[in-house]
Amino acid sequence: MTSSASDRSEADYDGPALAIRAEALSKVYGRTTALHELSLEIPEGQFFGLLGPNGSGKTTAIHLLTTLIRPTSGQARVAGYDILRKGVAVRGEIGLVFQEPALDPNLSVEETLEFAGALRSLPKQLCRQRSDELLELFEIGHKRAERVAILSGGMKRALDLARSVLHRPRILFLDEPTLGLDLPNRRKIWDYIGRLRRERGTTVLLSTHYLEEAEDCDRVSFLANGKMIGSGRPYELVAGLGNQIVELEGENLDRALALLSPRLGPCLRAGERALFRLPDEPLDVEGFLGEAVDGLRSVRKRRSTLSDVFLWATHPDLGEDILR
């Protein structure tokens, strides 16, 4: 499905500057509020990351913005079109990679792309040319005549991505696109998405659990229990947390924690591991701990990452402090 500028009436189109604008978008299922009043402004060309733990509402947000489900309340525009009144126009401008690859196992690789092209009214010749390019790029050209059912997980992901960009969408939604992929396959996908952004200015909205992938985002937002709890540029969020973390490991951490907490504030604890944010002034942690070090297996300082921000921000007791 394609649409041209002439399809956009004045009332329905509010200019190209924002690729996505959501205002208080909510989705309620019975007693579950899957998404609560999400507001977003994503400029064209931005690489935006939606981050949050399992069940925090990422997929719900993506499904609302891609018109697969209808909001309980609130509104949004995608590519300038109202998601409720201009769903067909929205779908013409976007590509979507689902969290669960949604391919027909009985079609061949080639047929999958032909079918996707036909749905988008892409001329056959153009569809074949783009399909060839994408299959070569993702190194699955030799599988073109095979049934989707026999592809490996990584190949299915690559085909899913190829299918979602065949019509050259202005906005690409990626719901955990590299879930379960090994490093070379993740790289291949990210290299391609980088190229789309550079060469075509494609806007990308990503949800992911691999936080190192989100460090390349221009901007990220964290969701927890359906609510947005904070947003920012990844490097600013990391700086806000404190640029260094100290990690303690050991069977008996209590003594060390009792000494460090008054100096460094609350720690994040998981079993035999505890993390503290380190202040910018230098602290010789081992020296400070003195004999309490004996109970520990290791004391390690390292640079903070977006994963640390995520861990702190989504912690029920410590989160508030981080993102406000």
Which listed range, 58-66, 188-196, 278-286, 291-299, lies at the site for ligand ATP (CB under 6 A)? 58-66
Binds Mg ion by CB under 5 A, chosen from 59, 112, 202, 203: 59
Choose between 98 and 138: whose C-beta lies nearer to ligand ATP.
Answer: 98
**Residue type at 219?**
R
Q: Which two tokens stand for residue 242?
A: 């404190």
Rounded CA-CA distance 271/250 in Å is: 9
Tokens of 295: 């109970």
Copy the structure tokens of residue 181: 């992929």
Neighbouring C-beta atoms of residue 282, cutoff 10 Å: 8
Shortest approach of ligand ATP to residue 178 CB, angstroms? 13
Distance CA 221, CA 98 (A): 19
CB 25 within 8 A of CB 37: yes
**Interaction between residue 178 and Mg ion (CB under 5 A):** no
Binding mask 10-29 for ligand ATP (x = CB under 6 A): -------------------x
**C-beta of 60 vs 304, nearer to ligand ATP:** 60
Binding marks (x or -) toward ligand ATP, 203..232, rule CB under 6 A? Answer: ------------------------------
Residue with tokens 């080639």: 110
Are 226 and 56 in contact, with CB atoms under 8 Å apart? yes
- From the list 181, 164, 182, 147, the residue with the least C-alpha distance to 66 is 164
Nearer to Mg ion, 61 or 238 (CB): 61
Binding segment for ligand ATP (CB under 6 A), chosen from 52-60, 141-149, 193-201, 250-258, is: 52-60
Please choose which of Mg ion, ligand ATP, none residue 52 contacts, taking the beta carbon within 5 to 8 angstroms, the exact cut-off set by kind: ligand ATP
What's the alpha-carbon Rg for the chain, to the nearest Å? 23
Where along the sequence are the contacts to ligand ATP (CB under 6 A)?
A: 29, 32, 34, 52, 54-60, 99
Where along the sequence are the contacts to Mg ion (CB under 5 A)?
A: 58-59, 99
